């Protein structure tokens, strides 16, 4: 038995490294939210969370225009080392452009609304945007090369040291959003520099241009989809930042942070369900595949529902233990997000079905519909109902999304 376990661990060591790395990244993100809330207060955490949305926006675009084509086209490339070195050149350009755009956005926000102004952030936030994108590129590059150990080692530095950074800054009374961004940039830049010297590099030349054309041809639709997806899911929160201020955003983010355990479950489902479903569809056809999805929805749905019920029932003790007793007045927000996450779970499973039956156009249509819905209704809900309006809006976005995809998919499957 022991030898069998050793054999499995050896044959699956890359997957194990990747799993450990994901647990590390998710765990650190959860812990950082707790530490910043406790050390800086809910309002400052709200400012941080809003600023970090800018990082996540550029990251979502990077997934579309750099990471997705790199994952797919790498296997088809003749000289893989040259391919990856030229991909790095494109990433360098993307990071530079993103940093400049981020700088302009931050200056514009501070100019038009000085409520959000924090000393030094006008340059430390664009810096952390560029640093994060570069570090994440090398992380993805190591995934492509099946170098899970390097991913884990790099992320132990880039992520594992973040809680230490926060605690040290707090102990020496230096903790601010600006100082944390500077320290975070330092961690990620150091990892990127080390990775740069460990890999083969190429100069900018005609091959860079060729690869850019190939990447853009592959990702041009994904680029627009990623922007629609980001705004579809975040527009209510983005709109609320200008109306409700940092405190309200902090409340929303601590509630979302407590739901983070479900993101690990959803990631595990994404690595298991679509692969198995594709095999069933290929070997047995449509009906057995749909039955498989129904069975998995029931099994994983019960697990999701149990987790949400536990979080909702024990929300008081959880909030007090994690964030502090002063935030118990916002415990009802947890119940709201528990309801929202039921629909997020169902939508996640439905996207697996859509992907399995290769009806991905439905997803793009869905983002257009929900994006328009958010744009047209955010003002009404947030202005009239404030924080409760944000909750209702986020819930309705998920409901509209779920029913639209369900109706469109049912129509498509009738013809298959």
Tens digits of residue pLDDT in 307-345: 999 999 999 999 998 888 888 899 999 999 999 999 999
Q: Does the residue 63 lie in any domain?
A: yes
Domain match, 293 and 210 both = no
Q: What angle do CA 335, 341, 345 make, to 5 degrees?
A: 155
**CA–CA gap between residue 4 and residue 338 (Å, rounded):** 40
Q: Does the residue 293 lie in any domain?
A: yes
Domain match, 296 and 354 both = yes
Contact between 197 and 223 (Cβ < 8 Å): no
Please state the pTM of the whole predicted model.
Answer: 0.86
What confidence score (pLDDT) does residue 41 get? 92
Domain match, 263 and 226 both = no
- What pLDDT, in 10s, does the model give residues 177-189? 999 999 999 999 9
Q: Does the residue 314 lie in any domain?
A: yes
Domain match, 221 and 282 both = no
Domain match, 93 and 171 both = yes
Domain match, 136 and 268 both = no
Domain match, 139 and 223 both = yes
Q: Does the residue 245 lie in any domain?
A: no
What confidence score (pLDDT) does residue 7 get? 46
The domain boundary, picked from 230, 250, 268, lies at 230
Q: Does the residue 407 lie in any domain?
A: yes
Domain match, 140 and 69 both = yes
**CA–CA gap between residue 327 and residue 31 (Å, rounded):** 17
Helix (H) or strand (E) holding 385: helix 361-414
Map residue 78 onto helix, strand or coil.
Answer: coil
The residue to which tokens 């664009």 are assigned: 126
Contact between 196 and 89 (Cβ < 8 Å): no
Identify which of 103, 99, 397 has the alpha carbon closest to the alpha carbon of residue 235. Answer: 397
**CA–CA gap between residue 49 and residue 253 (Å, rounded):** 7
Instruction: Residue 378: give the domain boundaries.
Output: 259-416
Identify which of 391, 103, 393, 382 has the alpha carbon closest to the alpha carbon of residue 245. Answer: 382
Q: How many domains does the chain have?
A: 2
b/e 375-384 (16+ beta carbons within 10 angstroms → b): eebbeebbee
Domain match, 46 and 187 both = yes
Please measure the distance between the N-terminal and C-terminal CA atoms of the chain and give it in whole angstroms: 46
pLDDT along the chain (416 residues), means of 10: 47 69 87 94 93 95 91 83 93 97 95 89 97 96 87 94 97 97 98 90 87 91 84 84 85 88 78 81 90 94 94 93 88 94 94 85 89 92 92 94 94 80
Q: Does the residue 103 lie in any domain?
A: yes
Q: Does the residue 3 lie in any domain?
A: no
Q: How many helices (H) and strands (E) does the chain have?
A: 16, 0
What confidence score (pLDDT) does residue 416 get? 63
What confidence score (pLDDT) does residue 390 get? 93
What radius of gyration, in Å, describes the C-alpha atoms of the chain? 22
Q: Which tokens go with 129? A: 């945007």
CB atoms within 10 A of CB 72: 12
The domain boundary, picked from 184, 214, 230, lies at 230
Beta carbons within 8 Å of 190's beta carbon, 6+ residues apart = 157
What confidence score (pLDDT) does residue 134 get? 97
């Amino acid at each position: 038995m022991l030898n069998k376990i050793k054999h499995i661990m050896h044959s699956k060591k890359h997957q194990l490294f990747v799993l450990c790395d994901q647990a590390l990244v998710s765990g650190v993100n959860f812990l950082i939210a707790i530490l910043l809330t406790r050390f800086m207060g809910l309002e400052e955490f709200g400012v941080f969370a809003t600023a970090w949305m800018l990082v996540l926006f550029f990251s979502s675009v990077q997934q579309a225009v750099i990471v997705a084509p790199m994952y797919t086209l790498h296997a088809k490339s003749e000289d893989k080392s040259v391919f990856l070195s030229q991909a790095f050149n494109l990433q360098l350009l993307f990071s530079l452009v993103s940093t400049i755009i981020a700088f302009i956005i931050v200056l514009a926000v501070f100019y038009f609304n000085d409520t959000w102004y924090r000393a030094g952030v006008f340059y430390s936030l664009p810096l952390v945007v560029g640093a994060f994108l570069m570090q994440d590129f090398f992380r993805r590059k190591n995934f492509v090369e099946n170098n899970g150990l390097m991913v884990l080692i790099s992320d132990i530095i880039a992520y594992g040291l973040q809680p230490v950074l926060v605690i040290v800054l707090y102990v020496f009374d230096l903790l601010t959003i600006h100082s944390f961004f500077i320290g975070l940039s330092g961690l990620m830049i150091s990892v990127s520099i080390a990775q740069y010297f460990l890999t083969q590099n190429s100069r900018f030349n005609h091959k860079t241009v060729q690869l850019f054309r190939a990447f853009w041809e592959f990702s041009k639709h994904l680029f627009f989809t990623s922007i629609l997806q980001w705004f579809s899911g975040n527009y209510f929160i983005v709109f609320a930042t200008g109306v409700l201020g940092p405190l309200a955003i902090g409340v929303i983010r601590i509630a979302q942070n407590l739901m983070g355990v479900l993101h690990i479950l959803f990631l595990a489902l994404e690595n298991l369900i679509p692969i198995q479903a594709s095999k069933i569809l290929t070997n047995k056809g449509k009906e057995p595949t749909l039955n498989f999805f129904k069975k998995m929805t029931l099994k994983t749905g019960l697990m999701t529902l149990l987790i949400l019920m536990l979080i909702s029932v024990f929300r008081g003790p959880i909030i007090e233990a994690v964030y502090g007793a002063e935030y118990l007045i916002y415990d009802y927000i947890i119940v709201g997000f528990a309801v929202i996450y039921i629909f997020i779970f169902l939508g996640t499973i439905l996207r697996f079905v859509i992907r399995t039956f290769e009806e991905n156009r439905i997803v793009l249509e869905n983002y257009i519909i929900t994006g328009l819905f958010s744009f047209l209704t955010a003002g009404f809900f947030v202005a009239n109902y404030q924080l409760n309006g944000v909750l209702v809006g986020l819930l309705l976005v998920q409901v509209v999304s779920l029913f639209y995809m369900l109706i469109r998919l049912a129509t498509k499957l009738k013809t298959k």
